[in-house]
Structure formats: C-alpha cells, structure tokens
Structure 1
Amino acid sequence: MSVTALKSTLRRSVEDHLDRAAQSYLGDKALARIDFAGPPGEPALSGPDSVSWRIFKNPVTLFIGGVAAVILELAEPRVRTGVWENTSFCADPVGRLKRTGLAAMVTVYGARSAAAQMIARVNAMHARIAGTTPAGVPFRADDPELLTWVQATAAYGFLEAYSAYAAPLSDAERDRYYAEGQAAAALYGAAGAPRSLAEQKALFARMTPQLEASDIVFEFLKIMKRAEAFPQPAQLAQHSLVRAAVDITPAPAREVLGLGPAYGLRPFEGRIVRRMGRRADRLILRSGPAAVSCRRLGLSEGYLYRRRETL
C-alpha cells in the first residue's frame, strides 16, 4: 500500500470513529428522528458562514462545553433544584446531556421551522416546572432570568471549549457569536441573553454572587467521568474531557464551587485534549448535522472544513 493510500485509509478510519462518537454523544435514535436535510433550501436561524456553524461541528468541544455549561447551571440554586429534582438529570445525566446537545444542534443547524417547533416544545416543558429551593426560594423554570442564565452558560461553554481546545477565537468572533444567538434566545424566552462578549462578562459578574457551592456539582462530575458518553476508545479520554470543562469554567465560579486546581487539567492531559479537539475539527462527519445541513442548503458537505489540514 502506498503512503498516500495508507493516509487515506487512516483518515477514513479516524473519521468513522469520530462520526460514531458524535452520534453516540448525541444519541443515535434521537439523531435519526431529526431531519437536518429538510426542507431543502430552508435556512437555519444563523447562516453557514456564522461562528456558530463553525463551532458546533466539533463533537469533542461540544461535550466539553456542555459539561462546563452544566457546572455553571448547577451553581445557581434555583436552576440546580429545577434540573436535579424535576428532570431526568439525576437518574440519567448522560441522556439529558445528549438531549441538550441535540437541541443545540437543531437550534444551530436545523431549518428555522424545525428549530421553532422544537423550541416551542422545550418552552412548554419549562412552563410545567416550578418548585422551591432547599433554602425556601420559589422558582419557575420559565423565569426569564433563569432562562437567560441557562442560555448564557450554554453559549459560553460551547464557545470557550472550541476556542481553548480546537481553534482560538478572537474577541471580535466572540462578539459575532453572541450576536448570532439572539434569534434563538428570543424564541427560548431568554430576554437578557448577552449580545456581545462585554455583555456576557457583565452578566456573569452580576450572577456570581448568587452562585452557591453544592455537593451535587461534585456528584455530577463523578458521574460524567465514568458514564458511557462515548464508545471505546474515546471513552478512555472522557476523564480528561471533564477536567477540560472545569478548566474553562470562570475562575470566580470555580472558587465559589470549590473546584481547585486538582479538578482541572494536568499538563499532559491538556495536550491530549487539544490534539483531540483539533483532529475532530478537521474531519468531516458525513452523517452529522453540520454536513447534512450544508447539503440541505446546496453546499458541499465539506463547506465548514475548507481550511482542513492534511492528516
């Protein structure tokens, strides 16, 4: 076999593995129910040249960013109570994370009509959730303040995971990313979702005094390190991916939660995670939402990978 043929075979093998890992993380059955290929030509809430489309094609940083977002969600006592006591998160955290990842994919890549329908279902579910925190504070899941926090933490997690472990993003690109998310935020009812990097920082500064330490955060991290979110051999690196999520959690929040340096990445792990993130960002996942949605718009499945390096 020639060197060229060997490289081609290796590339297909790695690509197929990451494709399976991506579908495993999102949930094969759930992914199959979403038609990212239709309606043909219908645009998404953001366009294929957006920062969002570039970021969400990466299954490695999507997982890391999702974990980081949940850490921040669980730090807010009202959100924590709503998530841990009124959803399947406690019993099936991986399943819930997969559904969250799939919802993000539909929001970013799905046709506008499909995204609007899915978001309406999510909003209807939120409208049925209400309760009281252990400290006696009442809450509703459809409270615009809480919706804004969830929207902002998810946006932050996915953005910063991609920038840290796949391809660095400038502040201007961060501004574009937050601005692109406004259409989705409005549909979700997150009226205060940040429109720029400066607004994201201001929101986090306002919310930090409301964050609280909780054993639930540590329980969540333990579960995510050992849960079967990915197939082997990617599962071997899952412990490091969870540590990577802790690393991008803002320092003030980590301090409140008691997530010291021991919970973050060790130097050798950082190199592994960045290598995984960069590799995942170069390989076309042909059955994934990004490639399929490009085809829906009449673009090549490699449109988002135009700067792909040779393996």
Structure 2
Amino acid sequence: MVALVVPGLDAMAHRLIQPPGAPLVDFALPAGEAALVPPDSVSWRVFRNPVAMFVGGVAAVILELAEPAVRSGVWDHSGFRSDPARRLRRTGLAAMVTVYGAASVAEKMIAGVVGMHERVQGTTSDGQPYRANDVRLLTWVQVTAGYGFLEAYARHVRPVPQGARDRFYAEGAPAARLYGALGAPASEAEVRALFEAQRDRLEPSPIIFEFLDIMKGAPVLPAFLRPLQRLLVRAAVELVPPWVRERLQLGRAHGLRGWEARLVSGAGALADRIVLRSSPATQACRRLGLPEDYLLRERPFAQA
C-alpha cells in the first residue's frame, strides 16, 4: 500500500513548492552548509510533511485575510486571484528555503522578499494606509504561518508536546528578524497573547470565501489527489481558532465531518512515515551528510 502512494505524495511535495517556470532550488547545495534551523529541530520535522504544509498554509492565509491591511496587501498586490496555485507554491518554496535551505541561500532569498515588500503599499477599503514592511503586519504574517503549520501537524500527523511547541516558535526567531517581523512570538503563550491583541482588528470579508473557493479548485495537487484537496481546504478552516471562525462567519458547513477528519489525518500520518526523495527535507539531509531517513530514525520531539 505504502509503495503505491509514495510516488503520489512525492509528486505532491514537489508541486507544493515548485512554481512552473521558476528556477529549481537545489536544497542539496552547497554541500555541508548549515541552515538557519538545525536538523534536530522541531521545525525540520513539522515542515517535511506535505499534508501539514498544505493544510497549515491555507489556514495561515485565512488568518492573514482576516486582518484588513494584510488582506489588502495580499489581494491587491499578489497573484492569488489570477494564479493561486503559483502564488501558493511561491509561498511554500519560501518557507522551505527558510527552514531547509543553506543559510546563505535563505538569507539571499529573504533579502529579496524584503526588497519586494518595500514597494508594496496602499490603502485598505476603509481608507487606512498600509505598508507591507510594517513590523506589525509582518509579525501577524509570521505568527499565522507558524500557527498554521504547527497546528496542522499536531492535529493531522502526531501530537506535539508543550515544550516542543514552544521550541518550534523559538526556532523561527532568526528568520523572523531577517524578514523584519521583530515582534514575532517565541513561545505558544506569546502566540496566544498576540491573537488576543488582534481580536478587535480581525473581520469577515467576501475575499475569504473567494479564496476558499479558489483553493478548492485550483490545480495545486496532482490530478488524482484533487478530491483530497477539497478536504484539505476544509481541514484548514477547522484549524482557525473557534472565536475567529465565528467572527469570520465560517460555520460548520465549511469544516470537516468526522470521517473526513480521519481521512486527512490518515494521509498526514502516512506522509510522515515515508521518505520523499524530492522533498527539501531529504535534499537538505543529503547536503549535511545525514542519511535520507534521518528524520525518521528517532521519534520526533523525543528531546523536547
């Protein structure tokens, strides 16, 4: 059974991060160069799972779109509406380079993103000016991404104990500083505090429902996995904190039924037990002279 689905999951992992026509990033080079995050980290285990990455990435965007200034920046200055699959893959590639790429490669890529953000500014629908490089907005994007990926892994792959959850957020601090997210939380308690501080700013928008409709049908996954894609989008809605879902008017119809949740979790658990040779995690292990199955040799978070 596993042998039959490995090629599909490998193709899924590749498609999630490689925009068509973009230069291919070789995570196996330069040989021996460390990443911003070490291989024994919680992050290396969380980010290697393509199911958690898809579900967590969509959940993060829902939370981003709930903040009016971030929503305007994302929707007015990116390709989500015209080419959502390419935009999602670019975001996934940036996340993978940040975690698994050689430090010099990651720093160069992040500098390019920061430079691009410098040119993004505008006015929200209610007349409030915004800049993409505003520390407050960058911090919200950083925390929603971390929250989405960690919660997707914990819910649909395997439980993550409290100590490991705090470590995960702390591991993101170096990259957060490079991106300019100087207020990024370094523990789960700080994440909860930031969500609470945003309570009065998060608001519903038709754009959120448009985004979800787009993601259900966009050609992100290989064709034979498209039926699963709709379930993964619904799983992403389930990750949004209940009070935020209520505020965004994302009722029960947008979430998962019991059997659907079990199916998503089965796919996530399966993806965590196999080596996907084209994945950034596997390539990064080769770069550092580690076995391809290094991340499977010990139970994740044993040292947390």
TM-score range, shorter chain: over 0.9
Letter in 2 for 1:142: N
Pair 1:202–1:193, CA change in 2 (3 A): same
Deviation at 1:202, TM superposition (A): 0.2
2:102 to 94, 111, 125: 111
After TM superposition, the structure 1 stretch with the greater mean CA deviation from structure 2, 28-37 or 209-218, is 28-37
* Partner in structure 1 of residue 277 of structure 2: 286
Aligned-partner Cα distance in 2 for 1:28–1:75: 26
Letter in 1 for 2:48: K
CA contact under 8 A between 2:13 and 2:278: conserved in structure 1?
no
The 5-angstrom pairing of residues 53-132 of structure 1 reads 53-132=44-123
Q: Does 1:234 align with 2:251?
A: no
Aligned-partner Cα distance in 1 for 2:19–2:243: 37
CA contact under 8 A between 2:63 and 2:144: conserved in structure 1?
yes
Aligned-partner Cα distance in 2 for 1:197–1:93: 30
Aligned-partner Cα distance in 2 for 1:81–1:188: 19
2:289 to 273, 288, 298: 298
* Partner in structure 2 of residue 5 of structure 1: none
* Partner in structure 2 of residue 3 of structure 1: none
Deviation at 1:14, TM superposition (A): 1.6
Aligned-partner Cα distance in 1 for 2:134–2:64: 14
Deviation at 1:67, TM superposition (A): 0.1
Deviation at 1:169, TM superposition (A): 0.4
* Partner in structure 1 of residue 253 of structure 2: 262
* Partner in structure 1 of residue 302 of structure 2: none
**C-alpha distance after superposition, 1:78-119 (max 9, x if no partner):** 000011011111211221111101100000000000000000
CA contact under 8 A between 1:41 and 1:296: conserved in structure 2?
yes
TM-score by length of 1: 0.94
* Partner in structure 2 of residue 161 of structure 1: 152
The 5-angstrom pairing of residues 126-205 of structure 1 reads 126-205=117-196
**C-alpha distance after superposition, 1:201-227 (max 9, x if no partner):** 000000121011100000100111111
Moved over 4 A (4+): 28-32
Could you tell me the percent identity over the aligned residues? 56
Q: Secondary structure at the match of 1:210?
A: coil
Aligned-partner Cα distance in 1 for 2:45–2:193: 25
CA contact under 8 A between 1:208 and 1:252: conserved in structure 2?
no
CA contact under 8 A between 1:178 and 1:197: conserved in structure 2?
yes
Aligned-partner Cα distance in 2 for 1:216–1:85: 11
Letter in 2 for 1:266: R
Aligned-partner Cα distance in 1 for 2:98–2:270: 24
TM-score by length of 2: 0.96
Deviation at 1:30, TM superposition (A): 6.5
Letter in 2 for 1:79: V
Q: Secondary structure at the match of 1:211?
A: coil
After TM superposition, the structure 1 stretch with the greater mean CA deviation from structure 2, 202-211 or 227-236, is 227-236
Higher helix proportion, which one?
Answer: 1
Letter in 2 for 1:138: P
After TM superposition, the structure 1 stretch with the greater mean CA deviation from structure 2, 121-130 or 88-97, is 88-97
Letter in 2 for 1:147: L
Q: Does 1:15 align with 2:6?
A: yes
CA contact under 8 A between 1:182 and 1:193: conserved in structure 2?
yes
CA contact under 8 A between 1:23 and 1:31: conserved in structure 2?
no
Letter in 2 for 1:151: Q
Aligned-partner Cα distance in 2 for 1:88–1:235: 21
CA contact under 8 A between 2:18 and 2:90: conserved in structure 1?
yes
Deviation at 1:29, TM superposition (A): 4.6
* Partner in structure 1 of residue 29 of structure 2: 38
